[in-house]
Structure 1
Amino acid sequence: MKTILASLLSSLCILSATTMLAAEPLFPQAPGMVSYTYRNEFEKDFEGTLDTIAALGITDMEFSNLFGKTAAEIRTLLDEREMKCSTLGVSYVDVQTKTEEVANHAKTLGASFVRVAWIPNRQPFTLELAEQTAREFNEIGRRLRTEFGLTFCYHNHGYEFVTHGEGTLFDVLMANTDPRDVFIELDILWVKFPGADPVAILQKYGPRIKLLHLKDLRQGIVGDMSGHTDVENDVALGDGQIDIPGVLAAAKKAGVEHYYIEDESPSINIQVPKTIAYLKSL
C-alpha cells in the first residue's frame, strides 16, 4: 500500500510541476517604455507623461531625448515615482564627439546601456560603409566599457539587411565588431520591414542582443531597405505581421535583459494599453 501511495504522490508531483510549467507566462516581466512613444506628450508635460506611463504599470524607461531637462532632473522625477532609466539613446554624432558627456548623462540617469539608432548619411548601406561602421562601433564600445563601465548597443533600422554573400550587411557588422564592446538593441519591426526574420536573428546572435524594441508592423505592408515607413504602420502587438510569441520565446532563450514598448503611431492612447494587455495574455 505504501508503495502504491508513494507512486501516486510522485505522479501527482510530476503532474503539478508540468502544469506549472505549462501555465508559466511567455512574457512574465513588465515591459519597459521608449520615451519616443510619448515624444509629443513629454514635450508638453514631462511630469504628467511620466505619471501616465507609471499608471500603466511601467517602471523601466529608455530615454532617447532629455526634453530640455538635465539628466539629474529626470533622475529625481524617476526616483519620486519609483521608476528607472536603464538605457539612454543618443545620436551617432554625440556618442562619437561627446562621449564623456553622454556617459555622464547615462550614469546620472542610472542607465547601464548607451544606444544609437541611426547612422546619418550611410543609406543606402554598402559593404564599405558596413566595415567602416564596425570599426567606429568598436572604438565607441571600447571607450564606453573601459572608461565608463557602460555597454554600447546599436539599434538596427532596416537598411542593414542588404544581401551580401550568403548573409546580409547586418551579418558583416556582427562579424566585424568586438563581442565584448558592441551589442544590439533589436527592433523587431526594423528586422521584419526589410524582409528578415526577428526570431532567426535572435537565435543566431543570442547573447549579443541585450535589448529589444517591441513593436508590430501593419498587415499587408511590404517593406524595403530605406529604414523609413509611415508611423501609421506601427500597430499594437499581435495585430501585425510579426510572430510575437515566437520572438518572445527566442528572446527569453537569448537572455535579452530589457524589453521596451515602442509605438510611433498617433494612436498610442489606444494601442499601448492594447499591447500591454496582449503581453499579459500570453
Structure 2
Amino acid sequence: MVRTAINLYSVRNLDLPMAEILERCADAGYDGVQFSGEFGGLSPDELATKLDDLGLDVTAAHVDLDAMETDAASVVETHETIGSDGAVVPWLGAEHFESREAAEETATRLENVAANLADHDFSLHYHNHDHEFVPVDDTTGYEVFAEVCSLLLEPDVGWIETAGHDPVELLERYGDRIEIVHMKDMADGDFCEIGDGDVDMQACADTARDIGAEWLVYEHDQPEDPAASIDHGAQFLDGL
C-alpha cells in the first residue's frame, strides 16, 4: 500500500524547531517525512529518537550531490541512522540535459555515484524539474538520461506537467524504477496548493498504486502559509 509523506523543503520557511515541525506532520496524518538538506540542528540520533516517538517513517532523502561524491560512506551512515535507505539527487542544472552528449555524461556520472552507494546497500534516485525535458533529436534530455542509466527515478508530477508532458504516461513507462512520486501541483507553470492546479492528481495517485510505488510525497515550493499547507497536503493525499 502506498504511503504518504511531506518533503520538508515545503516548510523550510516555517520558523519552528524541527521537533515541532515533525510533531505537526505526524498530527496531520502523514506516514513519513522526506528530509531535504538540514536536520534543523538535531543530531541524527536525536532525530531518529523523535521520529520513532512520533511513529514517522523516512523516505529516501534529498541530498547534495557533491556530498555523495565526496564521502558516500558518511552520507549513508547519517541517513541510515534516521531510518532512510536511499538518497535523491534533488536538482541538476539545465546544462546537464541540454544535448544528447550532456545527458549521457550526466547519466554516467550518477551511475557511478549509485554504484558507490550500492556498495553500502543504499539506493540513488533522481528528482526532475522541467528543464530535463528539453527536446534532443527526436526525444528529450530526460529520456536519454533515463535510457543510459539504471538508477531509480523520483518523478515530480507538477514539473512534468509544466514541461508539457503527461505525468501518468511517464509513471507507466518507468514504473519499475519508481518508489517515490512527488505530488506537486502547478497552475500555468506557477506553484499552487495541491488540487488547485493543472495536474490530474487522482490519476497520478492511481497510477502510482498500479506500478507499486511506495510513497506519495507532498511538496509545495512556495506555500503562502507553510503551517496550513502541512495539513492541506495531508488531507488531500488522504482523499486520493
Q: If the length of structure 2 is used for normalisation, what is the TM-score?
A: 0.91
Distance 1:276 1:76 in 2: 23
- After TM superposition, which residue ranges in structure 1, 4 or more long, deviate above 6 angstroms? none
2:239 is aligned with 1:270: no
- 1:243 corresponds to which residue? 200
Per the alignment, residue 90 of structure 1 pairs with 63
For 2:13, the equivalent position in structure 1 comes to 40
Alpha-carbon shift at residue 154 of structure 1 (Å): 0.5
Match of 2:169 in 1: 200
Report deviation, 1:72: 1.8
In structure 1, C-alpha distance between the alignment counterparts of 2:184 and 2:106, rounded to whole Å: 26
Matched with 1:25 is none
Please report how far the alpha carbon of residue 124 of structure 1 lies from its aligned counterpart in structure 2 after TM superposition: 6.6
- Identity, % of aligned pairs? 26
Q: 1:81 is matched with which residue: 54, 59, 62? A: 54
Structure 2: distance between partners of 1:52 and 1:207: 33
Note the C-alpha offset of 1:40: 2.1
| CA contact 1:263–1:272 (8 Å) conserved in 2 | no
Residue in 1 that maps onto 2:90: 117
2:178 alignment partner AA: I
Q: 2:237 — aligned with what?
A: 279
Q: 2:71 & 2:95 partners in 1: Cα distance?
A: 20
> C-alpha distance in 2, partners of 1:75/1:278?
27
How many aligned residue pairs are there?
A: 238
- Show the counterpart of 2:23: 51
Alignment of 1:144-223 (within 5 A): 144-145=117-118, 147-178=119-150, 182-218=151-187, 221=188, 223=189
Cα-Cα RMSD: 1.9
Gaps of 5+ in 1: 1-27, 224-232
Deviation at 1:236, TM superposition (A): 2.3
Aligned CA distance change for structure 1 residues 141 and 168 (closer, same or farther; 3 Å): same
The equivalences for 1:137-148 within 5 A come to 137-145=110-118, 147-148=119-120
Give unpaired runs (5+ residues) of structure 2: none
Partner of residue 256 from structure 1, selected from 191, 213, 222: 213
The answer to which structure, 1 or 2, has the higher relative contact order (CA under 8 A, 6+ apart) is 2
Measured in 2, the distance between the counterparts of 1:270 and 1:235 equals 13
**What letter corresponds to residue 268 of structure 1 in structure 2?**
P
